[in-house]
Structure 1
Amino acid sequence: MPKAGIIYNDEKPIASRIAIEVKDKLTAAGWEVVMTTGIGGILGYSTPDSPVCHTPIEGLTPPGFDSDMKFVVVLGGDGTVLAASRQVAPCGIPLMTINTGHMGFLTEAYLNQMPQALDSLISGEYEIEERVMLAVSVFRGEKVLWEALCLNEMVLHREPLTSMCHFEIVIGHHAPVDIAADGIIISTPTGSTAYSLSAGGPVVTPGVPVLQLVPICPHSLASRALVFADSEPVNVFPVNTPRLVMVVDGNAGYYVTPADRVHLERSHYSVKFIRLQSPEFFRILREKLGWGLPHIAKPTSVELP
């Protein structure tokens, strides 16, 4: 009996209702179905009273989810997709993402396309697109204090955000660089259309083997976004006291002190997204963000005499 999974946002009634409908249809077609919510992929935030809120990377996989699963249907918005990616990446299970949220930049289909999407899943008529993830770790000396998988970005800043921070950053074997800014963002190509984009970073098409470093409101005209090979690890040494706040994919946080080192490298885990048609990134940019739309004053072609 083939096996499938469902991860849904149980805070949204429509996602909960659709999850039951999807389970019933797959079960009727002879599939074994395991369900869980996306809450298990949300790592939580540290607090001054509880500075360590840590689950090992492989510890987020829900019970019953394993490499025998053919696919997982994800019902929610981008936040649920980010959570689900951490839950299943260690098992390498492909994700079919259905948008029940708002923007849904990471989702593949809408609810009105659900019947056709399920038929394609059952018949195996789809492609797989892999996206790079980062392994983010906080070290104190040689001890790992905290770790997480990251699909979009890691952000490091002070509380409150509008306070100047100082960072020493080492990329690969290059010379250290000093950045003074409200914070820094280190982003994957997938995350280049998220916080990094809002902070002035470039859009990077998926599949390009790079990462980017984007200062947030830098205190220098010389500090601009930097794009570098994703084969090079990054080490960030914060200078500010008493602590900075690190946020991963917008739903995981950890306090970082000057005694700590934040280490980022390309993870050996990746996210596998199911695509019902050949991936077309420029179409998604146009539909979701309005990139490349024809200008109203675009001149028409004129035939020369």
Structure 2
Amino acid sequence: MPKPKAGIVYNDIKPIACKVASEITEKLTACGWDVCMATGMGGILEYSTPGSAVCHTRIEQLTPANFDPSVKFAVVLGGDGTVLSAFRQLAPYHIPLLTVNTGHMGFLTESYLSHLNDDLEQLMSGEYEIEERSMLAVRVFRHDTILWEALSLNEMVLHREPLTSMCHFEVKIGDHAPVDVAADGIIISTPTGSTAYALSAGGPVLTPDVPVLQLAPICPHSLASRSLVFSDREPVTVFPATPNRMVMVVDGNGGCYILPDDHILVEKSIYPAKFIRRRSPEFFRILREKLGWGLPHIAKPTSVELP
């Protein structure tokens, strides 16, 4: 009977993540598991440059060679960037991930190093829940030729280059009539991404279980131009309605230049992100702990003394 198989994705530029990855490997191996490893760098998207061809790596080609669908779970050691990278690599294999914070805020991480021994015991015994979150499939086309694609857990951002003026974006959602957005840029985000760049741009916070996407303008020209929430069954096509070259960035990690003849197709991916939860997900608790949402203000006096 083959041994059960587990994976580790770690941030190899952080000594603590490297050290803990070795410790986890020793523990799992001693318990009869096979362990495969990959670094967060494997899911880092490349940028194109104005003078070279657009880098095109298919979504399914980012999966590490030593991983396969038989991997029961993977432990991610790093911050939010490593988590985003890990899902780009492993979501096509439907591998659930336990995300362990070795970074700073770690909004996307579930656990901490101090809990890791207990976490591993639960993982090996299968005593955990899985929370699925939607991801985006982002594809860039020039006429009918695909130039670039990627999975995205947070958002796709299309914005103007520095030293250029405000841009226009023609956005078509599903079968609805196209709309024109005049702004410095636009963000199309998942509910997970609603607490990232979209939140800074004035968009609402969306709970992860809501089947929607969000369109948020960046520094819009009109006061009437505000964030729009719509069904995630609707694909979104974005046309740059401006003669200027633009820049597209996915998950703050990689992207390409967008020329006037290009267009971007954004739709819900067939690959969900599977988060391992040690207990039932409690999104409002994370908002409170990480972003300070819903914390009580200063205590109100029980009585007021008149002067």
Shorter chain as denominator, the TM-score bin is: over 0.9
Equivalent in 59, 62, 73 of residue 60 of structure 1:
62
The residue that corresponds to 1:77 in the other structure is: 79
User: How far 1:87 sits from its partner (Å)?
Assistant: 0.2
Which stretch of the first structure deviates more once superposed, 47-56 or 193-202? 47-56
User: How far 1:300 sits from its partner (Å)?
Assistant: 5.9
User: How far 1:74 sits from its partner (Å)?
Assistant: 0.4
The residue that corresponds to 2:134 in the other structure is: 132
User: How far 1:77 sits from its partner (Å)?
Assistant: 0.2
Equivalent in 98, 101, 111 of residue 100 of structure 2:
98
Q: Cα–Cα, structure 1 residues 260 and 69, in superposed 2: closer, same or farther, change >3 Å? A: same
Which stretch of the first structure deviates more once superposed, 41-50 or 95-104? 41-50
Equivalent in 87, 90, 111 of residue 109 of structure 1:
111
User: How far 1:299 sits from its partner (Å)?
Assistant: 6.4
TM-score, with structure 1 as normaliser: 0.96
Structure 2 residues not aligned, in runs of 5+: none
Equivalent in 265, 268, 271 of residue 266 of structure 1:
268
User: How far 1:60 sits from its partner (Å)?
Assistant: 0.2
Secondary structure of the residue aligned to 1:103 is: coil
User: How far 1:209 sits from its partner (Å)?
Assistant: 0.4
RMSD: 1.3
8 Å CA contact 2:55–2:147 kept in 1: the answer is no
The residue that corresponds to 1:256 in the other structure is: 258
- Once residues 280 and 83 of structure 1 are traced to their aligned partners in structure 2, the CA distance between those partners, rounded to angstroms, is 24
Amino acid at match of 1:256: I
1:40 matched to 2:42? The reply is yes
The residue that corresponds to 1:147 in the other structure is: 149
Amino acid at match of 2:296: P
User: How far 1:140 sits from its partner (Å)?
Assistant: 1.6
- Once residues 246 and 301 of structure 2 are traced to their aligned partners in structure 1, the CA distance between those partners, rounded to angstroms, is 51
1:179-205 deviations in whole A, cap 9, x for unaligned? 110100000000000000011000000
1:172-228 deviations in whole A, cap 9, x for unaligned? 111110011010000000000000001100000011000000000000011000000
User: How far 1:141 sits from its partner (Å)?
Assistant: 1.8
Secondary structure of the residue aligned to 1:4 is: strand
How is 1:217-228 mapped onto 2 (pairs within 5 angstroms)?
Answer: 217-228=219-230
The residue that corresponds to 1:13 in the other structure is: 15
Amino acid at match of 1:181: A
Identity, in percent, stands at: 73
- Once residues 269 and 221 of structure 2 are traced to their aligned partners in structure 1, the CA distance between those partners, rounded to angstroms, is 31
Equivalent in 189, 192, 198 of residue 190 of structure 1:
192
Secondary structure of the residue aligned to 2:172 is: strand
1:105-139 deviations in whole A, cap 9, x for unaligned? 00010111111111111111100000100110111
Q: Cα–Cα, structure 1 residues 105 and 32, in superposed 2: closer, same or farther, change >3 Å? A: same
- Once residues 242 and 55 of structure 1 are traced to their aligned partners in structure 2, the CA distance between those partners, rounded to angstroms, is 26
- Once residues 284 and 161 of structure 1 are traced to their aligned partners in structure 2, the CA distance between those partners, rounded to angstroms, is 38
Secondary structure of the residue aligned to 2:205 is: coil
Secondary structure of the residue aligned to 2:296 is: coil
Amino acid at match of 1:43: L
Secondary structure of the residue aligned to 2:50 is: coil
User: How far 1:251 sits from its partner (Å)?
Assistant: 0.5
TM-score, with structure 2 as normaliser: 0.96
User: How far 1:275 sits from its partner (Å)?
Assistant: 0.2
How is 1:276-291 mapped onto 2 (pairs within 5 angstroms)?
Answer: 276-291=278-293
- Runs of 4+ deviating beyond 3 Å: 297-301
Count of matched residue pairs: 301
The residue that corresponds to 1:245 in the other structure is: 247
The residue that corresponds to 2:207 in the other structure is: 205
- Once residues 173 and 298 of structure 1 are traced to their aligned partners in structure 2, the CA distance between those partners, rounded to angstroms, is 52
Which stretch of the first structure deviates more once superposed, 44-53 or 107-116? 44-53
8 Å CA contact 2:74–2:97 kept in 1: the answer is yes
The residue that corresponds to 2:89 in the other structure is: 87
Structure 1 residues not aligned, in runs of 5+: none
Q: Cα–Cα, structure 1 residues 28 and 259, in superposed 2: closer, same or farther, change >3 Å? A: same
Q: Cα–Cα, structure 1 residues 12 and 162, in superposed 2: closer, same or farther, change >3 Å? A: farther
- Once residues 154 and 48 of structure 1 are traced to their aligned partners in structure 2, the CA distance between those partners, rounded to angstroms, is 20
The residue that corresponds to 1:170 in the other structure is: 172
User: How far 1:239 sits from its partner (Å)?
Assistant: 2.1
Which stretch of the first structure deviates more once superposed, 194-203 or 138-147? 138-147
Amino acid at match of 1:201: G
Secondary structure of the residue aligned to 2:204 is: coil
